Chain A
Amino acid sequence: MMDATQLAIEGRVAEEQRHHSKAQFLWVWAALLVMTGIEVWLAYQNMELIRMLSILMGLSLIKAALIIAYFMHMKFEVTPMKWVTMSSLVFCLAMMLVFLPDAFRILHLGVK
């Protein structure tokens, strides 16, 4: 009985994916390539470290969001799936960043 349920859900998911157009994925791919080009250009702009880090990470987050939403089909999943996976991921990664200000403190204090 469990297998029949799984097969039914798999069939429904495959049915949904048949309606995804190739053009949509090509646009996302092109956008990712363009953003990569912008990142490479920024790398040669001799910017201040923190500003450069912020811009590059901002672009990376946009690229990651596009990959998750379109290539990994998260945009087409049901709301509980989106919230449970993405909120737990963001929360755990944000917890790591709690300690990042300490790195700036070391930099400013000149601790070796």
Chain B
Amino acid sequence: MSDVVVQPGTDVYEPSLFGTYSKKIGMWLFLLSDSLTFGALLYAYTYGRVSTPDWPTPFHSESIRNATLMTAFLLTSSLTMVFAVRAAALGNAKAQRLWLLATMACGFGFVVLHGREWTNLIAEGLSLPVFPVPPGHEGSPEFLNAVKNAPQFAATFFGLTGMHMLHVTLGVVYLGVIALRKWFIPILLGLWLVAWLGTPAYSPFHYAAHVLLVAAIVISIILWLKPKVYDASDVEVAGLYWHFVDLVWMFIFPLVYLMSTRII
């Protein structure tokens, strides 16, 4: 396949060094920079894990089952995403939208499972000054000791998985805009209200829910300034982002969960 584009009506040759369109190259450049962010976080976690002899291993089989299910959700979402890209390339708008919605559903499932796990861990005592143990919960001695003996465990755990959860959430929003355009904004506002009003004030998600409000405002401005029907290239570029968050999880899952499994 030629990497040279001939301009119609002229004899000008426009060689494309990377053989693809600029939007895709732009997304790849963003992903390369983002991978360094995650690389630094994963490196910090690994360094702490290796250099701390009494590193906590608090994840019981319930946590490992939950994290394995989350992994399956993300892997399946990547499969549905490539099907959406393929449907877009074939010009099948209906299939493209359905596969995008399926991808969003898997991503949403991942975030819900992750949120549930965070809530359980905080209630059991794996806390930070900004995520205090909720009222009425004393926390288990195992987790309280883990926080006391290796405070960097909770800090790196919440920092790394929180950053990833933010990426997944924004990925679902991104796909929602590609699939539904302006009709996604009221859905997003509804999700924001549910997340904000449905969580107690001491929960970290009570405040994190405002990410959805900010996203809704930003999307409204973007769609107002540049309304468009998203084509196959937009779906492919969104897919690159989505696969990236899946890829990052392939390192977080073994490093954070499997390396800290409680073996009875």
Contact = CB atoms under 8 A, between A and B. Distances in A.
Contact of A9 (B5, B35, B247): B5
Nearest to B18: A81
B130 interface: no
Contacts of A68: 243, 247
A56 B253 CA distance: 10
Contact of A64 (B5, B86, B89, B251): B251
B219 interface: no
B8 interface: yes
Contacts of A43: 64, 254, 257-259, 261
Interface string A45-76: 01001101100110110011001101111000
A96 to B, nearest CB: 5
A15 to B, nearest CB: 8
Given A97-B43, A103-B46, A78 B19 contact: yes
A64 B250 contact: yes
Nearest to B44: A96
A93 B261 CA distance: 26
Contacts of B64: 40, 43
Interface string A78-112: 10110011001100110011011011101100100
B208 interface: no
Given A5-B14, A71-B81, A88-B32, A93 B39 contact: yes
A90 B50 CA distance: 22
Contact of B21 (A1, A13, A20, A57): A13
A3 B263 CA distance: 58
Contacts of A44: 261, 263
Contacts of B250: 32, 60, 63-64, 67
- Interface majority SS (helix, strand, loop, mixed), chain B: helix
B254 A39 contact: yes
A33 B14 CA distance: 42
B82 A71 contact: yes
A72 B243 contact: yes
Contacts of A8: 5
Nearest to B76: A29
A64 B38 CA distance: 14
A8 B40 CA distance: 38
B79 to A, nearest CB: 4
B253 A39 contact: yes
A53 B239 CA distance: 30
Given A44-B261, A103-B47, A89 B35 contact: yes
18 contacts: A9-B20, A9-B21, A10-B231, A13-B20, A17-B89, A18-B90, A26-B79, A33-B75, A36-B72, A36-B75, A40-B68, A43-B257, A60-B254, A68-B243, A71-B239, A81-B18, A89-B35, A100-B50
